[in-house]
Structure 1
Amino acid sequence: MASPFDPVKIGDIELKNRIAMAPMTRSRAYGPDHSPTELTAQYYAQRASAGVIVTESTQPNAIGQGYPNTPGLHNETQIAAWRRVTDAVHAQGGRIFAQLMHGGRVGHPSNTDERFTPVAPSPVRAAGQIFTASGMQDFPVPDELTPGQIHQTINEFTDSARNAIDAGFDGVELHGANGYLVHQFLSTNANLRTDEWGGSPHDRIRFAVELTTAVADAIGAARTAIRISPGAPLNDIEEDDYTEIYPLLIESLNPLGLAYLHIMETREPEFTATLRQAWNGVFMLNPATPGSRTGREELQLIEDERTDILSFGALFMANPDLPRRLEIGAPIQEADMSKSYGGDHTGYTDYPTLQS
């Protein structure tokens, strides 16, 4: 029986435990060109006791920025800034993957310096509103990506993945969940295309598969991972055939030999078990816990071998030394969610550890 505090290998690196820090947008990229700051380096270094840290969503190109003050990884300024973050984490003995996320239709012109209109598989506006510097605004109708622009986007993701390795990251996680661009291609309401990038499940997985393959070819499959959220309705996504499309996606990704598959669970655990059985590699799970946070009770999922690695979000926000607290049964601090996005060090780097 596996213990949450046993080592586990992802790709070519060994993690000191099976407790991962899940990606969490913090909207504090106040450096030049939306780059991380010294405070960002401190924040991640404080949490280096995680088996692996997955960073906040980081845009691979300027048009992919969805929210205010999120970091990029598509120019030299950003690479240098992220290098300070990875150096700080590695100095504390940690491992860190960059999560690359293109917002697709989940964005707004006022959230980008160039005032880009968001792009998506189809010109279908997401229902609802998005936070901007001037308050909540309706999602705009996105521009439909041309086939040429789709290939360009894959190339820009690939360049960003190379940038991540240049910046010292141990690998990259592609964000294929939560209603953003990759997820939009998988969906049945955001992707209404009739060419080879839409329609049947086989064609709707094409973008995810070609993107992941291109990144794995560029930086190595052992340093490439993907996150998915089967059937999740976030950001007005519908997936009428999720029980068909995700096994097909996993079947197509299995031959690549990726570092891990990360699932954000929003559907029944039985379907997660089906995907776990279908996946040939390391399995990371952010389990569904309606009405609560992923906590100590979910460690049983590792012991029962329902996952290899368990990812924690909000608890890592408030508990920089979360693995130690979980291991010895120490009190768990609650995060101040009013300080989740934007702001200064409060609610960011000022949560105490057991030793402080």
Structure 2
Amino acid sequence: MPTLFDPLRAGKLQLPNRIAMAPLTRNRAPDAIPTKLMATHYAQRASAGLLISEATAISQQGQGYSDVPGLYGSEQLEGWKRVTDAVHDAGGRIVTQLWHVGRISHELLQPGHHAPVAPSAITAKAKTYLIDPQTGKGRFVPTSAPRALLASELPEIVHSFVAAARNAVQGAGFDGIEIHAANGYLLDQFLKTGANHRGDDYGGSIANRARLLLEVTRAIADAIGGGRTGIRLSPVTPANDIVDADPQPLFEHVVRELAPLNLAYIHIIEGATGGPRQLPDRPFDYPALHSAYLMAGGQGAWMVNNGYDRASAMQAVASGYADIVAFGKPFISNPDLVRRLHDNLPLAPWDQDRFYGGGAEGYTDYPRSAMTHPAR
């Protein structure tokens, strides 16, 4: 019977344990360039079986928040190389999450201050985060109205994802990548009926709405290998004003189509991101989703995420429900989370006021536990 602390091979990734650090946007990359402070942050958490970087834009058009990193410029690659070197020197493994936010953006962040792009010209009832370059202070503001992407523009979106994946592995030294197809960002917007009202080959039917996600994933797997590619999905989260009329058949179709690609892992956000794993108004059968993937021949590791604690994570792995459990906020304030979970030590609380923007405080200054005995 496997345990949370046993090693696991996920595609080309050899993991010493089954604990992943989930992507955590922290808005500490001015001009979209990773910093030395970020290298320290990730290296501090290198005992995780797998580190998944904060969401990283594939292009300037893909940017949606101030001071989040990118993977489309040489200085960005150099900055990320410092991060991956620090993680590897600390004995860790790290993949980057590739991001295009779609409509969850603001004109001030877009090339030429143009409108953000989306599957359809539907404004999200959501907010983004802008930092005033003069004062350094951040604030949440409503997202801008988007314009609908032309079908002729979609090959360039695919190309940007592939270029970023190659940059990540060949230029920045990442061990692999995770495609962000969750939480109401661009690929999730194409998937779901609440954001996609298109009448062409990328809208309407399940197969059409899943088309862009699958084109991106197949192209990246061809470019860097399926064994270095993961993907993140969130079937029912309401994050960023996203909803689908019938998510069960939609996501079962998606995972069946992903199965032949021999991906390293499938990363599932269960329920509402940062909230409950089951939503009464959005029921979803997660074991059936996993079964659909396995029955289609999928062999990638199954990663689950959202509100797991030590007991539920251990049970998920021991029962075979999941291969990997991802933790988000606990990693913010517990750089030694793996040891704390293994030894059943108390977890330090996080400072939510310092999640976004700023410097070392609330980022790299959380201490490791000095305790040597389990909690009573």
Task: Spell out the pairing of 1:213-292 with structure 2 (5 A cutoff).
Answer: 213-266=218-271, 268=278, 271-279=285-293, 280=298, 281-287=300-306, 289=307
**Cα–Cα, structure 1 residues 113 and 43, in superposed 2: closer, same or farther, change >3 Å?**
farther
Corresponding residue number in structure 2 for 1:161:
165
AA of the residue aligned to 2:123: R
Separation in structure 2 between the aligned mates of residue 131 and residue 24 of structure 1, nearest angstrom: 14
Separation in structure 1 between the aligned mates of residue 356 and residue 235 of structure 2, nearest angstrom: 26
The answer to whether residue 327 in structure 2 is matched with residue 312 in structure 1 is yes
Task: Spell out the pairing of 1:106-117 with structure 2 (5 A cutoff).
Answer: 106-112=104-110, 114-117=112-115
AA of the residue aligned to 2:70: G
CA RMSD of aligned residues (A): 1.5
State TM-score, norm by structure 1: 0.95
Corresponding residue number in structure 1 for 2:34:
36
AA of the residue aligned to 2:4: P
Separation in structure 1 between the aligned mates of residue 327 and residue 149 of structure 2, nearest angstrom: 34
Separation in structure 2 between the aligned mates of residue 278 and residue 170 of structure 1, nearest angstrom: 28
Q: How many residues align?
A: 349
Task: Spell out the pairing of 1:31-110 with structure 2 (5 A cutoff).
Answer: 33-110=31-108
Give a deviation string over 1:245-299, Cα, whole Å, max 9, x none: 0000011110001000000100549611111222222100003x4xxxx321222
Task: Spell out the pairing of 1:151-230 with structure 2 (5 A cutoff).
Answer: 151-165=155-169, 166-230=171-235
Corresponding residue number in structure 2 for 1:130:
128
AA of the residue aligned to 1:274: A
Correspondent of 1:322 among 310, 314, 337 = 337
AA of the residue aligned to 1:171: G
Corresponding residue number in structure 2 for 1:349:
364
CA apart distance, 1:94: 0.3
Give the SS at the match of 2:97: strand
Corresponding residue number in structure 2 for 1:143:
147
Give the SS at the match of 1:195: coil
CA apart distance, 1:90: 0.3
Gaps of 5+ in 2: 133-138, 272-276, 372-376
CA apart distance, 1:114: 4.0
State TM-score, norm by structure 2: 0.90
CA apart distance, 1:132: 2.2
AA of the residue aligned to 1:4: L
User: Contact 1:63–1:116 (CA<8 Å) still a contact in 2?
Assistant: no
Corresponding residue number in structure 1 for 2:7:
7
Give the SS at the match of 1:305: coil
Separation in structure 2 between the aligned mates of residue 97 and residue 278 of structure 1, nearest angstrom: 26
Corresponding residue number in structure 2 for 1:338:
353
**Cα–Cα, structure 1 residues 46 and 136, in superposed 2: closer, same or farther, change >3 Å?**
closer
Separation in structure 1 between the aligned mates of residue 188 and residue 327 of structure 2, nearest angstrom: 21
Corresponding residue number in structure 1 for 2:274:
none
Give the SS at the match of 2:61: helix
User: Contact 2:25–2:54 (CA<8 Å) still a contact in 1?
Assistant: yes
Separation in structure 2 between the aligned mates of residue 28 and residue 149 of structure 1, nearest angstrom: 31
Separation in structure 2 between the aligned mates of residue 215 and residue 126 of structure 1, nearest angstrom: 28
Give a deviation string over 1:204-227, Cα, whole Å, max 9, x none: 000110000011111111111100
Give the SS at the match of 1:349: coil
Separation in structure 2 between the aligned mates of residue 25 and residue 44 of structure 1, nearest angstrom: 12
Give the SS at the match of 2:14: strand
CA apart distance, 1:324: 0.5
CA apart distance, 1:355: 5.0
User: Contact 1:6–1:18 (CA<8 Å) still a contact in 2?
Assistant: yes
Give the SS at the match of 2:5: coil
CA apart distance, 1:112: 4.2
Gaps of 5+ in 1: none
Give the SS at the match of 2:240: coil
User: Contact 1:111–1:133 (CA<8 Å) still a contact in 2?
Assistant: no
Corresponding residue number in structure 2 for 1:18:
18
Percent identical pairs in the alignment equals: 45
Larger CA deviation: 65-74 vs 115-124: 115-124
Corresponding residue number in structure 1 for 2:135:
none
CA apart distance, 1:131: 2.7
Separation in structure 2 between the aligned mates of residue 112 and residue 181 of structure 1, nearest angstrom: 15
Give a deviation string over 1:292-331, Cα, whole Å, max 9, x none: xx32122211111110000000001110010111001111
AA of the residue aligned to 1:124: I
